[in-house]
Structure 1
Amino acid sequence: MTAVRFQVAALAAALALCTAMTGPVLAQKKYDSGASDTEIKIGNIMPYSGPASAYAVIGKTEEAYFNKINAEGGVNGRKIKFISYDDGYSPPKTVEQARKLVESDGVLLIFGSLGTSTNGAIRKYMNEKKVPQLFVASGASKWNDPRQYPWTMGWQPSYASEARIYAKYVMKEKPDAKIGVLYQNDDFGKDYLKGLKGGLGAKASMIVLEEAYDTSEPAVDEHVVKLKASGADVFISITTPKFAAQAIKKAAEINWHPMQIISNVSASVGGVLEPAGIEISQGILSASYTKDGSDPQWNADEGMKKFYNFLAQFDPKANKLDAGVVFGYAAAQTMVKVLHMCGDDLTRENVMKQAASLKDFEPDTLLPGIRINTAPDNFAPIEQLQMMRFKGKKWELFGDIISSDTGH
Structure 2
Amino acid sequence: MRQGIFRFAGAAALAVTLSATSAQAQKKYDPGASDTEIKVGQTVPFSGPASAYASIGKTQAAYFNMINEQGGINGRKIKLIQYDDAYSPPKAVEQVRKLVEDDEVLLTFQIIGTPSNAAVQKYLNAKKVPQLFAATGATKFTDPKNFPWTMGYNPNYFTEGRIYGQYILKEHPSAKIGVLYQNDDLGKDYLNGIKAGLGDKASMIVAEASYEVSDPTIDSQLLKIKSAGADLLFSAATPKQAAQAIKKLHELDWHPVHIVDINATSVGAVLQPAGLEASKGVISVNYGKDPLDPQWKDDPGMKRYFEFMAKYYPDGDKNSNFNTYGYGNAELLVTILKMCGDNLTRENVMKQAASLKDVVGDLSLPGMKINTSPTDYRVNKQLQMMKFNGERWELFGPILEDKGAAG
Q: TM-score, normalised by structure 2?
A: 0.93
**2:161 is matched with which residue: 128, 146, 163?**
163
**Which position in structure 1 is the counterpart of 2:89?**
91
Is the 1:294–1:320 contact (alpha carbons within 8 Å) kept by the matching residues of 2?
Answer: no
Q: Deviations over 1:132-151 (max 9, x none)?
A: 11000001111111111111
Q: Give the partner amino acid of 2:315.
A: K
**Which position in structure 2 is the counterpart of 1:102?**
100
1:215 is the counterpart of 2:213? yes
Q: Give the partner amino acid of 2:264.
A: S
Is the 2:181–2:187 contact (alpha carbons within 8 Å) kept by the matching residues of 1?
Answer: yes
**Which position in structure 2 is the counterpart of 1:325?**
323
1:381-400 equivalences under 5 Å are: 381-400=379-398
**Which position in structure 2 is the counterpart of 1:7?**
none
Structure 1, unpaired ranges of 5+: 1-12
Aligned mates of 1:229, 1:392 — CA distance in 2: 27
Give the Å deviation of 1:405. 3.7
Aligned mates of 1:324, 1:406 — CA distance in 2: 28
Q: Deviations over 1:378-404 (max 9, x none)?
A: 111110000001113010000001013
SS in 2 for 1:396: strand
Give the Å deviation of 1:365. 1.5
SS in 1 for 2:241: helix
**Which position in structure 1 is the counterpart of 2:335?**
337
Aligned mates of 1:309, 1:133 — CA distance in 2: 30
**2:71 is matched with which residue: 73, 84, 89?**
73
Give the Å deviation of 1:26. 8.5
1:121 is the counterpart of 2:119? yes
Q: Give the partner amino acid of 1:302.
A: P
Q: Deviations over 1:144-202 (max 9, x none)?
A: 11111111101121011011111011111111110011101111101110111111110
Give the Å deviation of 1:27. 6.4
SS in 2 for 1:147: coil
Q: Deviations over 1:208-253 (max 9, x none)?
A: 0001011111111221122111110101011110111110010011
SS in 1 for 2:253: coil
Q: TM-score, normalised by structure 1?
A: 0.93
Aligned mates of 1:280, 1:25 — CA distance in 2: 62
Aligned mates of 1:120, 1:215 — CA distance in 2: 15
Aligned mates of 2:29, 2:213 — CA distance in 1: 41
Q: Give the partner amino acid of 1:384.
A: Q
Aligned mates of 2:290, 2:159 — CA distance in 1: 21
**Which position in structure 2 is the counterpart of 1:143?**
141
**Which position in structure 2 is the counterpart of 1:30?**
28
Give the Å deviation of 1:119. 0.6
Q: Matched residue pairs, number? A: 392
Q: Answer with 220-229 or 180-189: which moved more.
A: 220-229
1:263 is the counterpart of 2:261? yes
Cα separation, partners in 2 of 1:48 and 1:173, compared to 1, 3 Å: same
Give the Å deviation of 1:372. 1.0
Q: Give the partner amino acid of 1:347.
A: T
**1:362 is matched with which residue: 360, 363, 372?**
360
Aligned mates of 2:332, 2:319 — CA distance in 1: 21
Is the 1:285–1:388 contact (alpha carbons within 8 Å) kept by the matching residues of 2?
Answer: yes
**Which position in structure 2 is the counterpart of 1:294?**
292
SS in 2 for 1:82: strand
Aligned mates of 2:335, 2:171 — CA distance in 1: 40
Q: Give the partner amino acid of 2:96.
A: A
Q: Give the partner amino acid of 1:247.
A: A
Is the 2:356–2:371 contact (alpha carbons within 8 Å) kept by the matching residues of 1?
Answer: yes
Aligned mates of 2:253, 2:243 — CA distance in 1: 16
Give the Å deviation of 1:406. 4.5
Is the 2:279–2:390 contact (alpha carbons within 8 Å) kept by the matching residues of 1?
Answer: no
**Which position in structure 1 is the counterpart of 2:234?**
236
**Which position in structure 1 is the counterpart of 2:310?**
312
1:55-74 equivalences under 5 Å are: 55-74=53-72
**Which position in structure 2 is the counterpart of 1:194?**
192
Give the Å deviation of 1:321. 2.3
**Which position in structure 2 is the counterpart of 1:226?**
224
